[in-house]
Amino acid sequence: MKKLQYERPLIQRLNTGLMNKFGMKTEYTPHTHIDEVSVKSLIKEFGSPLFVISERTIRNTYKEANRAFKTRYPKVQFAWSYKTNYINAVCNVFHQEGSWAEVVSGFEYHKALNNGVPGSKIIFNGPDKSEDDLRAAINNESPIHIDHLDELYHLNELAVEMNKRPKVAIRVNMDTGVYPMWDRFGFNYENGQAWDAINKIILADKLDLVGLHSHIGTFMLSPSAYGVAASKLSDLALGIKKKYKKNILYLDMGGGFASKNTLKGSFLQGVDTNPNFDQFAESISTAILNAGFGTDELPLLVLETGRALIDDAGYLLGSVISNKRLSDGRRATILDFGVNVMFTSFWYDHKISPAQDFGNYTEDSVLYGPLCMNIDVIREHITLPPLKRNDHVVVHTVGAYNMTQWMQFIALRPAVVMIDLKNKVHLIRKRENLEYLEACEVKPDYLKSFKL
């Protein structure tokens, strides 16, 4: 006789009065395939844990964002934010779609060059650009976004020494009505720092001021804040035109658009509440179009959106190591991926689905990672069907920041694969090993041996 499928026995106390009007959560639908490739086969071939990127989702999301802006404003240019996910295969999908590159460090700058992005289409942001970085950017005619006066003076010196006229923009910070106000980067709008920097650049006449840049925050849930920022940048651009008869070629609104993730502490799911591209586009384009530019003088609108373009395309597959019961009776499940590879679990309540079929019963659990550290908590509270050892789970919406902020800590970093438009799987980053980890270490001769 064929034996019945086993499910762990469980009993749950029924509580009345705790249901809300939105009913029970429905996040425990099994997620057995990603782009028609089975989770089981992916783990079998590439091991667990494993990051999976859906090329189809990247391209669809990009097209959606592009449509939202280009149907509202005539001149739009996206620049892929390297820090969000700088795996070369991912960057090149964006470049194939038409994105420039937006980088914030020397190594990111050279990564973009190595990927084949022309220097003039690499926007160089960030507070720390070395002299070598600046020289390379000047030689390649990359737009350099000035963060502070020291950088401005340094660029003036280099311009004279190199006999070049670097293309620059200034980063402007401002009050857009949201908290916290980001004022550590760039020059402030309200207190006149921005105008001071603009005057210094134009009057010194060594740099070519081509753009204005702002980046008002991260995971912004208020599209209207971008409208305020766009109005203030437009005001500066029109002021420059009036005072110096100089056209500003582009306004760069930076990034920060929220993805569909759910921030910790949110009552509602991010997928239901977070603004979409249309809302951000409406707010920004309306502000610029109403600012007073002549139709032939409208600046190019540059967007450095990272998170909202890539988050949905990333999945993290993992396996159950063990189940245990905590002292207060709560169920705890230990998974084989921890906060060292899923940094965003500090910010979000990530949606996590089982990757196999199961019955109708669920239980409340805590999800822990494998690290021997108390902070390694993936979800403090989640309702899932009973998972058993070696069952698989899929973490959704992990494409942004995890594959750049991950670290080797206790466990090494997993492989990354990309599923292409024909559902073919490509390894785009190998699983790390001890040899890789130790490649940069140098052991002095006198420490090479010991007796125990």
Partner 1 sequence: MKIKKNIALSDTGFVFNPASGDSFSVNPIGLEIMKLLQENKSHDVIKKHLLETYSVDKDTIEKDFYDFAKMLEQFKVTETDEKKES
Nearer to partner 1 among residue 1 and residue 452 (C-beta):
1
Among 17, 294, 329, 444, which residue sits at the site for partner 1 (rule: CB under 8 A)? 329
Among 389, 424, 426, 430, which residue sits at the site for partner 1 (rule: CB under 8 A)? 389
Largest interatomic CA distance in the chain:
90
* Site for partner 1 contains 430 (CB under 8 A): no
Q: Which residue has the tokens 């402030």?
A: 188
Nearer to partner 1 among residue 92 and residue 323 (C-beta):
323
Nearer to partner 1 among residue 1 and residue 375 (C-beta):
1
Among 130, 274, 388, 418, which residue sits at the site for partner 1 (rule: CB under 8 A)? 388
Q: How far is the CB of 18 from partner 1 (least distance, A)?
A: 13
Q: How far is the CB of 2 from partner 1 (least distance, A)?
A: 8
Of 71, 119, 61, 120, nearest to 94 by C-alpha is 61
Nearer to partner 1 among residue 16 and residue 163 (C-beta):
16
User: Per-residue string for binding with partner 1, 295-324, x by CB under 8 A?
Assistant: ----------------------------x-
Q: Compute the Cα dihedral for 187, 110, 55, 269 and give only its sign.
A: negative
The count of residues interacting with partner 1 (CB under 8 A) is 21
Q: Name the segment binding partner 1 (CB under 8 A); options: 4-12, 82-90, 161-169, 269-277.
A: 4-12
Which 51-70 residues touch partner 1, going by CB under 8 A? none
Nearer to partner 1 among residue 389 and residue 424 (C-beta):
389
Nearer to partner 1 among residue 13 and residue 451 (C-beta):
13
Of 316, 287, 159, nearest to 226 by C-alpha is 287
Of 90, 35, 78, nearest to 402 by C-alpha is 90
Residues in contact with 138: Cβ distance below 8 Å, sequence separation at least 6, in sequence order = 144, 155, 158, 159, 162, 164, 166
Among 7, 45, 190, 272, which residue sits at the site for partner 1 (rule: CB under 8 A)? 7
Number of other CB atoms surrounding residue 55 within 10 Å: 22
Which 145-184 residues touch partner 1, going by CB under 8 A? none
Which 11-40 residues touch partner 1, going by CB under 8 A? 11-14
Residues in contact with 190: Cβ distance below 8 Å, sequence separation at least 6, in sequence order = 174, 175
Nearer to partner 1 among residue 263 and residue 332 (C-beta):
332
Nearer to partner 1 among residue 36 and residue 328 (C-beta):
328
Residues in contact with 71: Cβ distance below 8 Å, sequence separation at least 6, in sequence order = 281
DSSP symbols for 244-313? H-----EEE----B--S--BTT-SS-HHHHS--HHHHHHHHHHHHHTTT--GGGPPEEEE---HHHHGGG
Q: Name the segment binding partner 1 (CB under 8 A); options: 9-17, 60-68, 202-210, 242-250.
A: 9-17
Nearer to partner 1 among residue 307 and residue 392 (C-beta):
392
How do beta strands 331-335 and 352-354 pair? unpaired
Burial of 128 (0-12, 13-18, 19+ CB in 10 A): exposed
Q: Which residue has the tokens 């003036």?
A: 156
User: Per-residue string for binding with partner 1, 354-383, x by CB under 8 A?
Assistant: -----xxx----------------------
Q: How far is the CB of 6 from partner 1 (least distance, A)?
A: 4
Asked if 362 contacts 13 with a C-beta cutoff of 8 angstroms, the reply is no
Asked if 172 contacts 145 with a C-beta cutoff of 8 angstroms, the reply is no
**Dist CA 171 CA 82 (whole Å):** 18
Among 21, 184, 242, 325, which residue sits at the site for partner 1 (rule: CB under 8 A)? 325
Residues found near partner 1 in the complex (CB under 8 A): 3-14, 323, 325, 329, 359-361, 386, 388-389
